[in-house]
Structure 1
Amino acid sequence: MAVPAFNSVAWFEFGTDQPEEVKAFYGDLFDWKYVLKDVQDVAETVRRGQGLGAKVLMEPVSDSAGFTFARLQDTTGNHFGVFSAPAA
């Protein structure tokens, strides 16, 4: 297995109610740039993932703010999440 390049993302996850502060801290610390790439349809992405062999760990749910998210496990055992933001 190759070692990831310095300051690249191999895996990370933050559960926070202060996302701007977290982005600023880690952006300054590692020179990370954040680009929002939400999926358009969480349920469809989950179906596509299942078709490719992913296991659904958490079916799509929406919170009171309108974010929809789900958790999956890829074919090599890695857990990941997909989400879509509410319309602005």
Structure 2
Amino acid sequence: MTAPTLNSVAWFEIGSDRPDDVKKFFGDLFGWQFKLSTDLAGVDYHAAITPDTPGPSGGIFDHAGKFEDYAIFYVLVADVPAIIEQAKTLGGDVLMEPVTDAAGVTFARLRDNGGRHFGVFSMPAPIA
């Protein structure tokens, strides 16, 4: 498996108020394993590790009934704020402003000009 490239789909997220059911379903179906992430305080997030991959490629978010259940993809980008501005000029809008977690990952959720929900994220700059 190669590292994801910029502007490609590189993460998925499934939101549910029943994350244990989601983990069991996808674990049984595809052999996924899960690890609790503590990178964002107060958020119940379980990293999804798919077979034969070195690390997580998605996650299960316990939204505790605050949203409807969903499944979305995230695109790896160089600059989240710049992409947000570009999306706005193309008729998109922001559903969730950028947030940066303890690991330095910045992410936001957008809606395209047709109303479809998706996410963007950037990784922290490598330490030289």
With structure 1 as the length reference, what TM-score do the two structures score? 0.62
Q: Tell me the C-alpha RMSD between the 2 structures.
A: 2.5
Report the Cα distance in structure 1 between the residues aligned to 2:46 and 2:124, rounded to whole angstroms: 16
Moved over 6 A (4+): none
Percent of pairs identical after alignment? 45
Matches within 5 A, 1:39-78: 39-78=77-116
Report the Cα distance in structure 2 between the residues aligned to 1:74 and 1:82, rounded to whole angstroms: 12
Partner of 1:13: 12
Report the Cα distance in structure 2 between the residues aligned to 1:14 and 1:59, rounded to whole angstroms: 17
Structure richer in strand, relative to its length: 2
Structure richer in helix, relative to its length: 1
Q: Name the CA shift for 1:85/1:17 in 2 (closer, same or farther; >3 Å).
A: farther
Report the Cα distance in structure 2 between the residues aligned to 1:82 and 1:18, rounded to whole angstroms: 17
Q: CA deviation at 1:50?
A: 0.4
Consecutive unaligned residues in structure 2, runs of 5 or more: 1-10, 15-44, 53-74
Partner of 2:60: none
Which one-letter code corresponds to 1:40 in the other structure?
A: A
Partner of 1:33: none
Q: Which has the higher contact order (CA 8 A, sep 6+)?
A: 2
Q: Deviations over 1:38-86 (max 9, x none)?
A: 2000000000000100011011111111000011001111000000011
Partner of 1:4: none
Report the Cα distance in structure 2 between the residues aligned to 1:81 and 1:38, rounded to whole angstroms: 9
Q: CA deviation at 1:14?
A: 2.5
Consecutive unaligned residues in structure 1, runs of 5 or more: 1-11, 26-36
Report the Cα distance in structure 2 between the residues aligned to 1:77 and 1:64, rounded to whole angstroms: 30
Which one-letter code corresponds to 1:70 in the other structure?
A: A
